[in-house]
Structure 1
């Protein structure tokens, strides 16, 4: 199996700890081997492999072979595995993709393992509903999170500018972004990202206005709404409040490619659990807040979501063992201490309570943020329909890039987003 650079590095890290590669005792030849695949930062990989090692120590008859890939590379590899009916035994999904991939037959329903290998009753019915599609459980959430706006707290303090707050509007955010660009006074450093290519930010924007990114049957927005969205970001880009198109296109929806992490902007938009990964690679102190809203006192557009999800591959021959590993991942207290809140605030009340005293200041901030959203979040949206992953990767992002490079107009971008979106997204 060929690995990209990151995949090879993780494999090598696994070899050093006796997880991913290398020979083991004669017993290993008779043990169950499970392939686990995920995307994320090096920090996520280290934590995941450490938990896999701990699991192996307590379950010597099961071996975990781990592989981490880049964001876009992950989905390409998963598509290849689906075509060849060779999906990893355990693989990572997210809220916007679990409905899509479960309906495509990539996942194994987990209901048969509940109460035997998988113990999730303590999570609560509402939490389990987050990963339930058509009445069946297709994955287990690894933590709660929501959208977030990260900012370079040191840069804001130096500039004497107040960062966005709970009730900051999009209009006010634009002014702040422009001021931060001016305050930086450097070439290739701007106030914030060109957020037109972020599906989750567009989703929050639409929810603030009584609409949505998706419905049960397809797209949930119209051309006029898309025009308003694109017009906002184009005006802000031309006023100097966003990074240039050449910088924004580097973003592969991973921490290490985000313009904030790369030092090109003072603000970035991401998911709350990613604050841990961002702070690890940033020298400046990081702050966290909510996304801007349409009007003061209006809906925030935020909702609680499972940060990431473990699912079991439909083609696995070891469903029970895979469920056992997932159960350990989400319920073992020692595993929880290793994982912290990098994949979100733990779903298990027992694990959540146990890890709180050991959290570092950044991790504690993410927990505070999730708790502070309690009175700000709306209801969880309907599961994303089929084609939502392709819509994000092959429609929304490329069209936003063409617009930022001024290759198409706002009207053309909005019309294409809806037309191509309707051709891509459909009911299951």
Structure 2
């Protein structure tokens, strides 16, 4: 049964932006520019975004900003707006979708704004490269994060089990998941999600083995045998009772509110480090954070620093200069930095980062400490993903994993389909 609290959270996440789009933050009289902002995320993210937009308007008279926070149909709506040439002025992307949409003509390159309208002198080393596609800066990273695993500290404490750590191997993780599930003894609650459908977890798994999801020339970076090993791991764990049932996992739309941990169906989650804030805001038990399991205790982590999220300017924007001013304000204004904290990742502006750290409470500080802790274990940031990467995730990776879990495919069939369907949608 879905609780009233859950419905309220969903309404906030999916409806806050729609409401905001009807009510300007300030009077539209004599407005020189009207900006449309488009993002996804938790209610907490929406509140921070809207608060910064209000602050931006106060320092930019004549400019209005309206927000639209969207849930599971984010990319469907964005694709429709792209076809209709009605893109928002400022659009939120993440690394796997940015190159694809840039090459489709969804956003303006920002190179002409850098150093002037968008100040970059306080950015950390390599920040601009995190959103560079085909030699052009397609967007501005809003924060730095990495892959991480969250866990319910109370569940492990009550079970008398030590939570996973940076040295936990994949085999140990599987055994621990089975043991924790049994110890919790709750109906419809498991230790782990079924991560076979998460392309970012598979990417880390591959990096630990010297491979990657995609090659630099835009092809699949793994073989059928790699996929077999991947699917066999998760299917075996599912059959042992260590990860969630297929019907639970199929509900996950890669949003916090739909994730098994947030829904109360698992005690752990594979996520991005900055999302700890959003998860903790909807869960009562205290969460812990660590890195993904590894092939062996002293083996490579497979982790890399990545832009948590990215602001881009829509190609059809009628007010690109105002949009650039908004992005500059978002990443460089000290007061905006205090509002945003580290919810979208550790700030890229080093001065803002230094000012924010002393102000944040325990949960945001945990994300900063985690990002700092893995500094000596990260691999270089990979090349931009090829065209079709979004379709690979949504139309291939997720469906194939679900079909395997529901018993519609064998491990071998799933691996072969991932390769064949992957080659069909990927366009280098």
**TM, length-normalised to structure 2:** 0.95
Q: List per-residue Cα deviations over 1:242-299 (Å, max 9, x = no partner).
A: 0000000111101111101111111111100000000001000000000001122111
Distance 2:21 2:320 in 1: 23
Structure 2 unmatched runs, 5+: 1-9
- Does residue 11 (structure 1) correspond to residue 12 (structure 2)? The answer is no
The answer for the alignment partner of 1:185 in structure 2 is 185
Deviation of 1:101 after TM superposition, in Å, equals 1.0
Instruction: Verify the 8 A CA contact 1:14 1:49 in the aligned structure 2.
Output: no
Secondary structure of 1:334 counterpart: helix
The answer for the alignment partner of 2:211 in structure 1 is 211
Q: What does 1:387-406 align with in structure 2 at a 5 Å threshold?
A: 387-406=388-407
- Does residue 26 (structure 1) correspond to residue 29 (structure 2)? The answer is yes
- Does residue 366 (structure 1) correspond to residue 373 (structure 2)? The answer is no
Secondary structure of 1:347 counterpart: coil
Distance 2:15 2:258 in 1: 19
Q: Which moved more, 1:130-139 or 1:303-312?
A: 130-139
Q: What does 1:21-60 align with in structure 2 at a 5 Å threshold?
A: 24=27, 26-28=29-31, 31-60=32-61
The answer for the alignment partner of 1:197 in structure 2 is 197
Q: 1:424 to 1:406 in 2, by over 3 A?
A: same
The answer for the alignment partner of 1:157 in structure 2 is 157
Instruction: Verify the 8 A CA contact 1:388 1:425 in the aligned structure 2.
Output: yes
Instruction: Verify the 8 A CA contact 2:124 2:350 in the aligned structure 1.
Output: no
Distance 2:28 2:231 in 1: 58
The answer for the alignment partner of 1:128 in structure 2 is 128
Secondary structure of 1:51 counterpart: helix
Distance 1:346 1:257 in 2: 26
Distance 2:86 2:139 in 1: 18
Distance 1:158 1:261 in 2: 19
Distance 1:122 1:295 in 2: 38
The answer for the alignment partner of 2:7 in structure 1 is none
Q: List per-residue Cα deviations over 1:377-424 (Å, max 9, x = no partner).
A: 111111100000010001000110010001111111100000000010
The answer for the alignment partner of 2:283 in structure 1 is 282
Q: Which moved more, 1:363-372 or 1:115-124?
A: 115-124
Q: List per-residue Cα deviations over 1:29-71 (Å, max 9, x = no partner).
A: xx2001110011111000000000000001011111100001x
Secondary structure of 2:61 counterpart: coil
- Does residue 328 (structure 1) correspond to residue 329 (structure 2)? The answer is yes
Deviation of 1:125 after TM superposition, in Å, equals 4.7
Distance 2:302 2:334 in 1: 33
Instruction: Verify the 8 A CA contact 1:168 1:296 in the aligned structure 2.
Output: yes
Instruction: Verify the 8 A CA contact 1:148 1:270 in the aligned structure 2.
Output: yes
Deviation of 1:116 after TM superposition, in Å, equals 2.0
The answer for the alignment partner of 2:358 in structure 1 is 357
Q: What does 1:101-112 align with in structure 2 at a 5 Å threshold?
A: 101-112=101-112
Secondary structure of 1:126 counterpart: coil
- Does residue 170 (structure 1) correspond to residue 177 (structure 2)? The answer is no
Distance 2:113 2:243 in 1: 48
Instruction: Verify the 8 A CA contact 2:15 2:70 in the aligned structure 1.
Output: no
- Does residue 383 (structure 1) correspond to residue 384 (structure 2)? The answer is yes
Instruction: Verify the 8 A CA contact 2:16 2:46 in the aligned structure 1.
Output: no
Deviation of 1:105 after TM superposition, in Å, equals 0.8
Any runs of at least 4 consecutive aligned residues in structure 1 with deviations exceeding 4 A, and if so which?
A: 4-7, 13-16
Q: 1:25 to 1:418 in 2, by over 3 A?
A: closer
Deviation of 1:14 after TM superposition, in Å, equals 6.3
Secondary structure of 1:274 counterpart: helix
Q: Which moved more, 1:356-365 or 1:117-126?
A: 117-126
